[in-house]
Amino acid sequence: MASERSTPAIAHEPPSLPASPLPKRTKVIDPVSAVPTSIANGSRGTDTPTPMASESLPSNPLLPTQVTAGGLPVPALEVKFLSETAKAPTRGSAFAAGYDLYSSKESVIPARGKALIDTDISIAVPPGTYGRVAPRSGLASKHSID
């Protein structure tokens, strides 16, 4: 037989990483930390605290109740209702930039028509902000309102 020749081994490089950037946020879930320590230790936990007396707190009905994505409180919006049919502005979602306004009376606007619609509310915006009624809001684009 002829002398056997062996094929030289080819050195392969490992595959390269994808060109896409790494994720900005990574979420690490530790199953041990998901269990409350009172359950893990077998203790019954802490007792429910008694509520503070309302006289000790200053009365301020305009305290912000929501928190933005950055952890900052959302300034309170002061709204005065001018009629019984007025409806308070609402946010479309938790991270909406503004508020949705509502008509205080039932109105019909013909196709390609325009009208001034009463909201019967008066709004005072917080210091450092401005108020603006956007004609091309998300609600308008969803329902083809121009």
In a domain, 102, yes or no: yes
Q: H helices of 3-137, where?
A: 37-41
Residue 11: inside a domain, yes or no?
A: no
pLDDT reported for residue 46:
61
Element (H, E) at 139: helix 138-142
Q: Please, are residues 122 and 80 in contact by the beta-carbon 8 Å criterion?
A: yes
Q: In the beta sheet, which residues pair with residue 123?
A: 79
Q: Is residue 92 part of a domain?
A: yes
Is residue 73 a contact partner of residue 66, using CB atoms and an 8 Å limit?
yes
Q: Is residue 111 part of a domain?
A: yes
CA proximity to 40, closest of 31, 49, 48? 31
Query: pLDDT tens digits, the chain, 146 residues: what are they?
Result: 555 677 777 776 666 655 666 666 666 666 555 555 555 555 555 666 565 554 444 444 444 455 555 666 667 788 999 999 999 998 888 888 788 888 999 988 888 788 888 899 999 988 888 888 876 666 666 666 65
Number of domain units in the chain: 1
